[in-house]
Amino acid sequence: MCEAIFEILKDDNSLELIMASYRLLTELDKHFPRVYASKVEKSQLPSPSSVPELVVVEEAWSPFISGSDSEREDANKNSGSLDFAGFEILIQDLAKAAVGRKMEEFETKYLRNMVLLQYLISVLEGDFVPRNSVFKENMDWNLLRVSLLNMILGSRRISYKDIIRGCVSIICEMSHLHAEHSDDMTLPKSSSAELFKLLDTAGAISFPEVRKCSFRAFQKFLLMAMELDTSRKKADIQGLTTRADGVRTPVVEIIQDELTYNRDAISPFFQVFNEPQWKMEILLQYFQKYIAKPSVRTRRSSEPIEDATFDGVLKCFSNINSVKSIIKKISIEVAQLLLAHAFQAYLSLSFQHSADGSCKSKEDVRDSSMAEVCKNIISAFMNLRRIDERVEILPFGKEALFTAATILSTKS
């Protein structure tokens, strides 16, 4: 039944059937999960160290085809499921459509692919989240090794980096619509007339909401991939990985490289990528690329590098010579954007820390540190102005300065 419904979602041209099949599949997944952590009552636990067991329903249907080439070929002939290469093709097609398509080229197929990818990413989430949760408790890397997400990203049949780059491109292109219509489903005024002419009324009305949900799904995909990298690193440190696991460039590095070579994407990407911990991590890696490193370091130093934290970055911007060195490699406008977004992420982490009493980030977000960071942000922008008095502070930079000044005034 699931296979038949998925084939409708994948191949049908009726928007009504596409949305109905999507809703039905997601409801079935909620009621009949393929992977879940067993709920064990505390009184039934044999010891305090016991953790819930991961339950995998082996006979459950999956929209993804894995296995040998012959098995995938047979499955492709006899079912409507997708192999990993098909998943990559969907992302690449959607990335090209988001960047290159003109308004008159939008069609039901474009909407269908967005909905299809939303469902596939929800399947990856349902498989990965419980596995990663149990992994954090028992450090059994095998649970994540056979996860769909790890198998897709580690498959030799696809270009892993192209998938990540495609997601970044889609997020950047969708960011404008997401920012303008985050609270409603209205169409952009400039495009509504064209869309109504080319799509039926239902398609035109659903278009903004579908794009918004697709944006969230792709951001979720990147976050899961980064979480997988973190768990893989922990497993690697403990010697749980093998040569068979291969070597994969961390997602954060791929995103950082993509933003380095396409600086026009910096503003739209960070404007909507709103997970503060990973946003800070990407920004710090970006800064690391352009901050001068000390000439001498011990070979096996385990001490953290000072400029690997936001506080360390701000200290670099407090030195006018260091700022000049950074600005030679990136423009003052880019430096403003990076500083302002890093400050925004820092404040979000601080809020999380005060709300739940804990913080996963390596940043110090105590009240005593907050005032110092605000002073350093103001100092960093002042040094940028000292280098070029004609430079104009960007609106987002002005917001960061205003926020820092306001926080300082309340703490004085």
Residue whose token pair is 């961390």: 250
User: What CA–CA distance (Å, rounded) separates 351 from 344?
Assistant: 11
What is the structure's pLDDT at 213?
A: 87
| Residue labelled with tokens 């790890």 | 150
Mean pLDDT of the region 83-107: 75
For residue 7, give the nearest of 122, 112, 141, 131 by alpha carbon.
112
Nearest 5°: phi and psi at 65? Answer: -105, 125
Whether pLDDT at 296 is above 90: no
Angle between helices 84-100 and 108-138 (to 10 degrees): 130
Contacts of 169 (CB under 8 A, 6+ apart): 95, 98, 99, 265
Predicted confidence (pLDDT) per residue in 178-189, tens digit: 554 444 434 444
Q: Does residue 106 sit in helix, strand or coil?
A: coil
| First-to-last C-alpha distance (Å) of the chain | 65
pLDDT at 35: 94
**Tens of pLDDT along 317-335?**
988 999 999 998 898 999 9
Q: Are 62 and 29 in contact (CB under 8 A)?
A: no
Can you read off the two tokens belonging to residue 379? 């100092």
Torsion on CA atoms 79, 85, 91, 93, rounded to nearest 10: -90
Q: Provide the 3-class DSSP secondary structure of residue 314.
A: helix
Amino acid symbol at 77: K
160 within 8 A of 139, measured Cβ to Cβ:
no
Average the pLDDT over 353-357 and give the result.
66
Query: DSSP string covering 25-84, please?
Result: HHHHHHHS-SEEE----GGG-SSTT--PPEEE-TTS--SEE-S-HHHHHHHHHH---EEH
Tokens of 327: 């600005």
Question: For residue 83, how far is the Cα from the chain centroid?
Answer: 23
pLDDT tens per residue across span 147-186: 999 999 999 889 999 999 999 998 888 776 555 444 443 4
376: its two tokens: 């350093």
CB count within 10 Å of CB 32 equals 12
Contact 153, 160 (CB under 8 A): yes
Query: Over the stretch 210-259, which tens digit does the pLDDT of each residue have?
Result: 888 888 999 999 999 999 999 999 999 999 999 889 888 999 999 999 99
Pairing of strands 54-56, 35-37: antiparallel
CB atoms under 10 Å from CB of 370, counted, come to 18
Question: 95: pLDDT confidence band, cut at 50, 70 and 90?
Answer: confident
Cα torsion 108, 113, 114, 120 to 10°: value is 150
